[in-house]
Structure 1
Amino acid sequence: MNRIERIQQMLQASPQDNFLRHALALEYIKTGDDTEAEKLFKAILTECPDYVGSYYHLAKLLERNGNTQEAINWYEQGMQAAKKTNDMHAYNELQSAYEDLVY
């Protein structure tokens, strides 16, 4: 059983586990399935906007696929969420990636 299958199996028991969903999205990226990864990241952030770790990966995925404006929007939302949760490490990573893209 590969990693994706193992994570999917664990998600059957806990379908709303954001840690597992985030891990699955990262595995999809590794296999080149950006569409499924994007769906998962967006689902996580729609349902739990304070799950700060997913903003960076979603925005990077969008940036890599040429969706620059959407990536900028997600970086901005992520910076706001990071401020709200007082996660300055995540804020700095998001801000750096945002500035690299915008400037």
Structure 2
Amino acid sequence: MNRREKIEAMLADDPTDSFLRYSLAMELRSEGANAKSLAIFNELMKNDPPMIQAFFMSAQLLVDIDEIEQARTNLRDGIDQARAQGDSHAAAEMSELLATLGEMGEL
């Protein structure tokens, strides 16, 4: 049983576990299953409260597949959510990536 299968088995017991869902999205990303990974990240961004890490990781994945505009949108939304949740470190990380993407758009 590989890591993804182990995570999926644990999710069968608790499908609402955000950390396990995030872990599955990360595994899918590493396997190149980008659409499935993004779908899970998108669900996590809609949690109450939204999972901040999902905004950042989805943006990184979107950059990898050359979806820069959507990455920028996710980062802006993630920065707003991070600030609302008092996570200045995550907001700063996403701001740095957003600034880098701004530079890429000017090339």
**TM-score category (smaller protein):** over 0.9
Aligned length: 103
Tell me which residue corresponds to 1:37: 37
TM-score normalized by the length of structure 2: 0.92
Give the distance between the partners of 1:18 and 1:3, measured in 2 at CA. 17
Which consecutive aligned stretches of 4+ in structure 1 deviate over 2 angstroms post-superposition? 47-50
* Percent identity over paired residues: 28
Flag the 1:32–1:8 CA change in 2: closer, same or farther, 3 A. Answer: same
Report the CA distance between 1:66 and its aligned residue: 1.1
Give the distance between the partners of 1:25 and 1:54, measured in 2 at CA. 9
TM-score normalized by the length of structure 1: 0.95
Structure 2 gap ranges (5+)? none
Conserved 8 A contact 1:52-1:81: yes
Q: What are the residue-to-residue correspondences of 1:41-56 with 2, within 5 Å?
A: 41-56=41-56
Report the CA distance between 1:87 and its aligned residue: 0.4
Conserved 8 A contact 1:50-1:85: no
What RMSD, in angstroms, separates the aligned Cα atoms of the two structures? 1.0
Structure 1 gap ranges (5+)? none
Conserved 8 A contact 1:50-1:82: no
The one of the two structures with greater contact order (alpha-carbon pairs below 8 A, sep at least 6) is 1
